Amino acid sequence: MIKNMPIAAVIGLFFTALYFLMAIFAPLIAPYGMAEVVGGVWEPPSPEHLIGTDNIGRDLLTRMIYGGRTTIFIATAATILSFTTGSVLGFLAAVVGGWVDQAMSRFVDLLMSIPSLIFALVVLSVTPVTIPVLIVVMGLLDSTRVYRLARAVAVDINVMDYVEAAKLRGEGRAWIIFREILPNALSPLVAEMGLRFIFMVLFVSTLSFLGLGVQPPAADWGGIVKENKDGIVYGIGAALWPAVAIATLAISVNLVADWVLNRTTSLKGGRG
């Protein structure tokens, strides 16, 4: 299968896999403990600390690996949450139609009219900031975008004769949504999923940077930028490592999403 893959997809898949494996096996890979102070402040790279130490003398590579674990876990969980809620509700709105559709769509419009960062900040400032709360807030806020896409795609599919045939057969809504509509709506949703995952990474990083995301001493990429940003003034690049990590992850996930999209559309029986 690797032979038939375009080179961009191979690179994307390689880096995505690398990041995810690092996240999963963080405790095995990391050279030191997550919050362990092991050296001086902002030490330069050395054989003991491959990319130096951070603002209070913790090993930066260790922080990056654990930070990746937190960031990727939160982003993945929030993406899954936003996709399940968003697409199921979107499909439901399209299939049921009428006032149910109207009520749900206008409610989503209402949520979308508030900038999601501000909305998240307000919610998180009045609730205890724990990882489950973060995931729920991010996932639900983002599900509005997925809802819109899913509904638009499903409205198109819902008028197809094969859906009408299923309705005439007497099929229930569950069959129509999951067996008739979902398989045909998958390609645009998968493409969107890559993009939304990256937005989630950026979102959680932004929240942590602003102090309302992952709380210290737990590491995450946004938090590492925050902790080390003062070093930039002194020419210390510690804050750039998480930035590079976020950028490479974003690019590689999108390369993979592109490839998946191409593959699913050219599948047997694929549309276009």
Partner 1 sequence: MSEPRDILLKVRDLKIGATVYPPGERPHDIEIVHGVSFDLEPGRVLGLIGESGAGKSTIGLASMAYGRGGVRITGGEVWVNGRDILKTSLSDLRSLRGGEVTYVSQSAAASFNPAKPIMEQVTEAAVRHGKFTRKQAEERAIALFGKLGLPNPETIGRRYPHQVSGGQLQRCMTALALCPEPDLVVFDEPTTALDVTTQIDVLKAIKEAIRDTGVAAIYITHDLAVVAQVSDDIMVLKLGDMVEYGTTDQIINNPQEDYTKALVSVRSIRHEEKKPTDDPLLTVEGVTARYKGTKFDVLKDVNVELHPGQTLAVVGESGSGKSTLARAITGLLPPSAGQITFDGHVLTPNLATRPREDLRELQMIYQMADVAMNPRQTVGTIIGRPLEFYFGLKGAEKRRRVQELLDEIEMGDGFIDRYPAELSGGQKQRVCIARALAAKPKLIICDEVTSALDPLVADGILKLLLQLQKIENVAYLFITHDLATVRAIADSIAVMYQGQVVRYGPKSQVLSPPFDDYTDLLLSSVPEMRLGWLEDVIANRKMESAGN
- Helix-helix angle 7-24:240-265, to 10 degrees: 120
Piece in contact with partner 1 (CB under 8 A), picked from 35-43, 99-107, 157-165, 239-247: 157-165
By the rule CB under 8 A, 165 interacts with partner 1 = yes
Q: How far apart are CA 179 and CA 187, in angstroms?
A: 15
Options 8-16, 51-59, 74-82, 262-270: segment touching partner 1 (CB under 8 A) = 262-270
| CA distances to 79, 119, 131, 260 from 192, in Å | 10, 22, 24, 11
Q: Any contact of residue 178 with partner 1 (CB under 8 A)?
A: no
Using the rule CB under 8 A, is 168 a contact of partner 1?
A: yes
Q: Is 262 in the site for partner 1 (CB under 8 A)?
A: no
Stretch that binds partner 1, among 79-87, 119-127, 166-174, 204-212 (CB under 8 A): 166-174
Q: What are the distances in angstroms from CA 65 to CA 68, 71, 132, 169, 249?
A: 5, 10, 21, 54, 13
37 residue type, one letter: V
- Which x/- pattern, by CB under 8 A, does the window 53-72 give for partner 1? --------------------
How many residues make contact with partner 1 (CB under 8 A)? 20
CB of 160 vs partner 1, minimal distance in Å: 5
Say whether residue 97 binds partner 1 (CB under 8 A).
no
Q: Which strand (E) or helix (H) includes residue 181?
A: none
168 φ, ψ (degrees, to nearest 5): -65, -30
Instruction: Find the part of the chain contacting partner 1 (CB under 8 A) among 25-33, 54-62, 162-170, 240-248.
Output: 162-170
Closest of 76, 34, 83, 67 to residue 188, by C-alpha: 83
The four Cα atoms 26, 28, 30, 32 give a dihedral, to 10 degrees, of 130
Task: Name the minimum Å distance from CB 170 to partner 1.
Answer: 4
267 makes contact with partner 1 (CB under 8 A): yes
Q: Nearer to partner 1 by C-beta: 148 or 263?
A: 263
How many angstroms separate the CA atoms of 48 and 207, rounded? 31
Interatomic CA distance for residues 119 and 111, integer angstroms: 9
- Pick the binder of partner 1 from 111, 171, 202, 240 (CB under 8 A): 171
Measured from the Cβ of residue 158, the count of other Cβ atoms closer than 10 Å reads: 20
- Judged by CB under 8 A, the residue of 27, 44, 216, 270 near partner 1 is 270
Using rule CB under 8 A, residue 183 touches partner 1: yes
17 makes contact with partner 1 (CB under 8 A): no
Using CB under 8 A, list all residues that contact partner 1: 160-162, 164-165, 167-171, 179-180, 183-184, 266-271
